[in-house]
Structure 1
Amino acid sequence: MTHRRLAIGLHWSILMLALVMVKGGIRVARALANGMLCKPGPKLTWVLRTVSRWVHRATHTVLAVTVVLNGTALVGAVPHDTGWAALLVLLAVGSFHGLYLFWRHNVLFDGALRVMTPRFMHKIL
């Protein structure tokens, strides 16, 4: 599997990933946190290019922490509100990630959305 197909699959299956997290998918979050780092866009300035990798790692860390908090909430070690709050934070981080990619695609014209969408949708973008 190529990195492109993996990125497409991850971006389009985030709802399924959220459901897996709620059910205690700690292994999935560990795999996401340890890998799957894409290259920054070619048209980003040097500051954004440097920051991009660290923000991507932080996003994966938020995903892993959300899984851990939801797993401990399901076991009963922490209150259930903790897991729900973590999911809301993950939703906010994911929304900002989507807005950033939308900005890159429409302002920088670097095809950021084409990288992660299936080929049959490229005509729409």
Structure 2
Amino acid sequence: MTRRRATILLHWSVATLLLLHLAAGGTNVMLAWAFALTGLAMLALALVFGLMSGPGPKLEGSLRRAFPALQWGMYALLGWSAADTLAGLLDLSLPGPDARTLLMSLFAASSLHALFHLWRHTVLHDGALRRITPRLLHGML
């Protein structure tokens, strides 16, 4: 499996598992395990190989300069949420906010992340969604 395919698979898996885990109220142990392991795998992939893509040539100014830091911030929040979920499954506790607060924060940040990339794709026409969408769906973009 290529790095791109692994990133795409993990990206959409994490998004789906986050929504399902929140919808279940954090009570489904299998969803919690799946979210925690998938989130940590996505973080590990980014830490080992770096970010898959940059801001693109059409993104300018302060957004362009902030893009890498914001992207790493999303990975940090994902890793923290996944690690806290895993710690809860192992009857451990991490300092900081509770798991539900972290998951809701991740959901809010993910929503802003999605809106930003939709804006890039529709306003800047820089193909932002093509980078993270499976090729099978590119015809709909």
* TM-score of the superposed pair, with normalisation by structure 1: 0.80
CA distance in 1, matches of 2:31, 2:67: 25
**Partner of 1:6 in structure 2?**
6
Q: Is the 1:105–1:112 contact (alpha carbons within 8 Å) kept by the matching residues of 2? A: yes
Gaps of 5+ in 1: none
* TM-score of the superposed pair, with normalisation by structure 2: 0.72
Query: 1:53-102: per-residue Cα shift (whole Å, max 9, x none)?
Result: 00000000001111222223231536xx8111111111111111111110
Sequence identity (%):
36
* Paired residue total: 123
Residue of structure 1 aligned with 2:130, choices 95, 104, 114: 114
Distance 1:5 1:28, change over 3 A: closer
CA RMSD of aligned residues (A): 2.7
Q: Is the 1:33–1:61 contact (alpha carbons within 8 Å) kept by the matching residues of 2? A: no
CA distance in 2, matches of 1:21, 1:46: 40
Query: 1:26-56: per-residue Cα shift (whole Å, max 9, x none)?
Result: 7526504514412211201042222100000
Distance 1:101 1:30, change over 3 A: closer
Distance 1:13 1:87, change over 3 A: same
**Partner of 1:34 in structure 2?**
47
Question: Mapping of 1:44-123 within 5 angstroms?
Answer: 44-74=59-89, 75-77=91-93, 82-123=98-139
- 1:123 is displaced (CA, Å) by 1.5
Gaps of 5+ in 2: 22-29
